């Protein structure tokens, strides 16, 4: 008889839990029984007794037979024709009389149907389960389909009986969308990466907005920039300290209204109430305070924007929605297109306002489950509020659509959006789709060189099996919504498409374990949406990487993420020469989670981590300082050998002990511009000379994450000659 530990290991493997892994230091980590049990429970697996564990093992092993047909099949367009397996509970007499009516329905409702008699298919296996005979039937699917989503309906008719099963069929292209001129190497672009919220300007309301984005994008296109990459725009509650991170949103399906350009909303201009309030001294004083504050005040900016938006909505409701004007009809079409997901998101916001609690788990019990009748009643009770929040999302969609369309006329690529890896456990996505999420678990990362204690990102992971059981619908909607109006999409922590690091809530990152995801299905779905939307995909593939991950991403034409800091001639720490960079990639110096150029040079990131107690020991801190000194020497050597930094030993010694300046920063970016990478991303903070990085992973209250403004406003940035000098350097290098 197997011990409990052996049973747990067997069940864990069946559920995709990786029992052990190696960290970047070469240390082997073995998942503890407590960790495995916490993860299994979060998946909804029963493990209270050895008997239950054995039953779950048997259930999972037999799942293929007892579910009759797999809920979803994701295929390459080239894997046609193919065969469909059915597992049917039939006795021998029923089997002999079996005939099948087979129909396929596409996304617009077109249907074809045909009948298969007994000699058209084969019973290839049988099995007895709990005293019932099951047969495995192999059906030929001979019709070749175009890429897209289909629903299969299979009606089985037999002696004295009939039943129907259905399954989702997803036919996908083999690669993501990339324009031909990128693939053949005739085009290489550079662009700007910025955090939209951080932009300072003379016109915004204390937080960067779509007016700022439009202005800086047009300026960038005049310089020859081909794209502009921004932080995730996902919906947030905009409340300190836990609800301001763009990477921990309440929903990845909808966006944060704090970015709305309030001066470009017709209903604001037409509303007497809005205009009266905006002329008041209290309004003007508050806006000026928000513009002048050193850090972004999310709550105050959101509060004042919402106040104006409510005035605007009343104007729109009276004059357009009720009267059915063309503008009102456009909004109605938007509501019909978005459907239930938008209604659910807006209901969450209405209930959040009703309870004044961001965490739905603290709401009145009858509102905690969106499928309860009381919540359905609440839709009617909150109809006007739901309509208001829908109106706000419509405004966001409209403004983004215009910016994207305008950029399409002047930029080679255009807007690059960013998709966060997960959703806040207190938010709308988890409230609405809670059965998909492993509550009681946090996603994170194991200890590594940059985060010696590991990372706990504080949001729950999606359960792989539940994703599959629901036909990947939530994943599809997430990818599709984030590709809308985007010419490129960066997928944060793309390694999570293969495996995610699960940490039991209340534990430390070192106690986590990896869980495997259905990567081939997910990659194919991304490719399908990419081709349909003509959106390039950038896979942020940094961190502890599993076997063959980079190769699989490249096969799907997902651009790799090549950072200067990490592109070395391993095991030697020397920097790669630009010509040895992978061409199917976006290259950059840094990210929001790492030191800026200027911060790197003075070891600001190392000192901040030390001051916050993020180093497990003093020796690690000293080693990082020594490594940084070595890296500066190696980088200066590489820049001089490449000829982008002119000078002899005196210049080398000068930069080794001095702070970075614009000449050295430009040399670093010119170095990268010589790489064959399709895209080169320039950090706005780097060019401006910003010392502090935007985010310090794993820290919330002791560092101003996501709140720092640019050290120059847009008006000054546009006049800054450093950007023109960079653009000229890029042009010299055929970018």
CB within 8 Å of 317: residues ≥ 6 apart: 387
Q: Residue 602: pLDDT above 90? A: yes
Q: Is residue 295 part of a domain?
A: no
Q: Is residue 311 part of a domain?
A: no
Q: Residue 433: pLDDT above 80? A: yes
542 and 417 in a single domain? The answer is: yes
557 and 437 in a single domain? The answer is: yes
487 and 565 in a single domain? The answer is: yes
Give the alpha-carbon dihedral of 193, 198, 199, 204, to 10 degrees. 140
109 and 203 in a single domain? The answer is: no
CB within 8 Å of 370: residues ≥ 6 apart: 344, 347, 431, 432
Q: Residue 149: pLDDT above 80? A: yes
| Section 31-36 average pLDDT | 96
Question: Which stretch of 86-95, 372-381, 583-592 has the lowest confidence by average pLDDT?
Answer: 372-381
Q: Is residue 316 part of a domain?
A: no
Give the alpha-carbon dihedral of 156, 158, 160, 162, to 10 degrees. 0
pLDDT recorded at residue 221: 97
164 and 55 in a single domain? The answer is: no
Question: Which stretch of 20-29, 147-156, 272-281, 605-614 has the lowest confidence by average pLDDT?
Answer: 20-29
**Which residue among 64, 86, 112 closes a domain?**
64
219 and 120 in a single domain? The answer is: no
Q: Is residue 435 part of a domain?
A: yes
C-alpha closest to that of 505 among 172, 38, 185 = 38
**Which residue among 140, 172, 204 closes a domain?**
172
Q: Residue 605: pLDDT above 90? A: yes
Residue that has been written with the tokens 């020796």 in this structure: 619
C-alpha closest to that of 231 among 724, 689, 681, 735 = 681
33 and 108 in a single domain? The answer is: no
Q: Residue 526: pLDDT above 90? A: yes
Q: Residue 6: pLDDT above 90? A: yes
153 pLDDT band, cuts 50/70/90, is very high
146: burial class by Cβ within 10 Å (0-12, 13-18, 19+)?
exposed
| Section 692-704 average pLDDT | 91
Helix, strand counts (H, E) of the chain: 27, 24
pTM: 0.96
Between CA 97 and CA 135 the distance in angstroms is 14
CA–centroid distance for 86 within its chain:
35
| Section 673-681 average pLDDT | 97
- Domain with residue 85: its CATH number is 2.60.40
Q: Is residue 715 part of a domain?
A: yes
Task: Return the percentage of the chain with pLDDT > 70, whole number.
Answer: 100
| Section 610-622 average pLDDT | 92
Tokens representing 386 are 């739901």
| Section 364-378 average pLDDT | 82
Tokens representing 481 are 């919504």
366 or 494, which is more confident?
Answer: 494
Q: Residue 542: pLDDT above 90? A: no
Q: Is residue 265 part of a domain?
A: no
Q: Is residue 232 part of a domain?
A: yes
484 and 623 in a single domain? The answer is: yes
CB within 8 Å of 291: residues ≥ 6 apart: 200, 202, 204, 205, 206
Q: Residue 648: pLDDT above 80? A: no
C-alpha closest to that of 170 among 525, 527, 532 = 525
- Domain with residue 715: its CATH number is 3.20.20.80
Which helix H or strand E contains 190, and what residues bound it?
strand 189-194
205 pLDDT band, cuts 50/70/90, is very high
CB 425 within 8 A of CB 437: yes
Q: Residue 426: pLDDT above 90? A: yes
Q: Residue 430: pLDDT above 90? A: yes
| Section 623-632 average pLDDT | 96
507 and 648 in a single domain? The answer is: yes
Residue that has been written with the tokens 């009858």 in this structure: 366
Burial 463-481 (b: 16+ CB within 10 A, else e): bbbbbbebbbebbbebbbb
| Section 615-642 average pLDDT | 95
Tokens representing 394 are 């419509």
28 pLDDT band, cuts 50/70/90, is confident
| Section 228-239 average pLDDT | 97
182 or 647, which is more confident?
Answer: 182
Q: Is residue 349 part of a domain?
A: no
C-alpha closest to that of 178 among 679, 548, 674, 731 = 679
pLDDT recorded at residue 116: 86
CB 55 within 8 A of CB 130: no
Residue numbers of the domain that contains 140: 78-172
CB neighbours of residue 450 within 10 Å: 21
54 and 120 in a single domain? The answer is: no
Q: From its phi and psi, is residue 376 left (phi > 0), alpha (psi between -120 and 50) or beta?
A: alpha
**Which residue among 147, 172, 197 closes a domain?**
172
Task: Return the percentage of the chain with pLDDT > 90, whole number.
Answer: 85
Q: What is the pLDDT of residues 67-120, one digit of tens each?
A: 999 999 999 999 999 999 999 999 999 988 999 999 999 999 999 998 988 888
573 and 600 in a single domain? The answer is: yes
pLDDT recorded at residue 189: 97
Counted domains in the chain: 3
39 and 114 in a single domain? The answer is: no
């Amino acid at each position: 008889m197997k011990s409990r530990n052996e049973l747990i290991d067997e069940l864990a493997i069946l559920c995709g839990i990786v029992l052990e892994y190696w960290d970047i230091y070469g240390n082997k980590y073995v998942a503890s029984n407590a960790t495995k049990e916490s993860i299994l429970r979060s998946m909804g697996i029963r493990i209270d007794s050895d008997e239950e564990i054995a039953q779950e093992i048997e259930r999972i092993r037999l799942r293929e037979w007892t579910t009759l047909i797999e809920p979803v099949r994701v295929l390459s367009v080239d894997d046609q024709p193919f065969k469909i397996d059915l597992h049917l509970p039939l006795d021998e007499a029923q089997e002999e009389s079996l005939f099948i009516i087979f129909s396929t329905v596409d996304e617009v409702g077109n249907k074809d149907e045909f009948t298969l008699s007994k000699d058209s298919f084969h019973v290839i296996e049988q099995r007895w389960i709990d005293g019932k005979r099951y047969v495995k039937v192999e059906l030929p699917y001979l019709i070749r389909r175009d890429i897209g989503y289909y629903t299969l309906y299979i009606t089985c008719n037999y002696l004295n009986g009939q039943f129907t099963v259905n399954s989702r069929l997803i036919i996908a292209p083999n690669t993501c969308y990339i324009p031909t001129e990128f693939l053949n190497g005739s085009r290489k672009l550079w662009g700007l990466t910025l955090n939209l919220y951080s932009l300072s300007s003379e016109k915004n309301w204390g937080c960067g907005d779509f007016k700022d984005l439009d202005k800086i994008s047009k300026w960038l296109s005049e310089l020859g920039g081909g794209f502009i990459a921004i932080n995730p725009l996902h919906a947030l509650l905009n409340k300190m300290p836990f609800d301001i991170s763009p990477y921990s949103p309440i929903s990845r399906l909808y966006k944060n209204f704090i970015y709305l350009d309030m001066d470009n909303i017709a209903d604001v201009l037409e509303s007497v109430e809005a205009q009266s309030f905006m002329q008041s001294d209290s309004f003007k004083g508050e806006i000026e305070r928000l513009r002048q504050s050193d850090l972004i005040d999310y709550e105050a900016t959101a509060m004042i924007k919402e106040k104006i938006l409510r005035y605007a909505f009343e104007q729109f409701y009276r004059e357009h929605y009720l009267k059915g004007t063309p503008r009102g009809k456009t909004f109605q079409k938007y509501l019909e297109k978005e459907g239930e997901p938008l209604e659910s998101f807006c209901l969450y916001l209405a209930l959040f306002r009703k309870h004044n609690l961001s965490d739905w788990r603290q709401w009145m019990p009858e509102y905690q489950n969106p499928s309860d009748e009381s919540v359905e009643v609440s839709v009617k009770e909150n109809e006007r509020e739901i309509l208001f929040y829908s109106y706000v999302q419509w405004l966001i969609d409209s403004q983004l659509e215009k910016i994207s369309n305008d950029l399409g006329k002047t930029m080679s690529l255009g807007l690059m959006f960013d998709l966060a890896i997960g959703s806040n456990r207190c938010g709308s996505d988890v409230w609405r789709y809670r059965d998909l999420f492993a509550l009681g678990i946090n996603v994170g990362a194991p200890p590594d060189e940059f985060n010696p204690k590991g990372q706990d990102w504080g949001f729950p992971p999606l359960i792989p099996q539940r994703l599959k059981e629901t036909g990947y619908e939530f994943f599809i909607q997430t990818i599709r919504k984030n590709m809308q109006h985007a010419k490129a999409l960066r997928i944060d922590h793309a390694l999570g498409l293969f495996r995610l690091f699960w940490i039991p809530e209340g534990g430390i990152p070192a106690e986590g374990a990896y869980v495997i995801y259905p990567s081939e299905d997910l990659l194919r779905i991304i490719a399908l949406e990419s081709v349909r939307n003509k959106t390039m995909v950038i896979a942020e593939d940094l961190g502890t990487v599993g076997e063959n991950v980079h190769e699989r991403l490249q096969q799907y034409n997902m651009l790799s993420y090549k950072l200067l800091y990490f592109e070395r001639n391993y095991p030697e720490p020397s920097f790669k020469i630009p010509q040895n960079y992978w061409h199917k990639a976006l290259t950059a110096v840094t990210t929001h989670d790492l030191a800026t150029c200027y911060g790197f040079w003075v070891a600001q990131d190392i000192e901040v981590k030390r001051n916050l107690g993020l180093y497990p020991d003093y020796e690690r801190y000293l080693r990082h300082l020594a490594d940084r000194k070595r890296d500066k020497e190696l980088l200066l050597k590489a820049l001089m050998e490449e000829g982008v930094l002119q000078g002899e030993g005196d210049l080398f010694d000068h930069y080794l002990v001095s702070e970075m300046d614009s000449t050295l920063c430009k040399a670093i970016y010119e170095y990268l511009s010589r790489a064959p990478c399709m895209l080169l991303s320039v950090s706005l903070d780097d060019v401006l000379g910003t010392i502090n990085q935007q985010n310090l992973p794993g820290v919330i209250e002791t560092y101003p994450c996501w709140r720092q403004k640019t050290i120059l406003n847009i008006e000054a940035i546009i006049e800054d000659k450093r950007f023109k000098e960079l653009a000229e350097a890029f042009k010299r290098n055929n970018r």
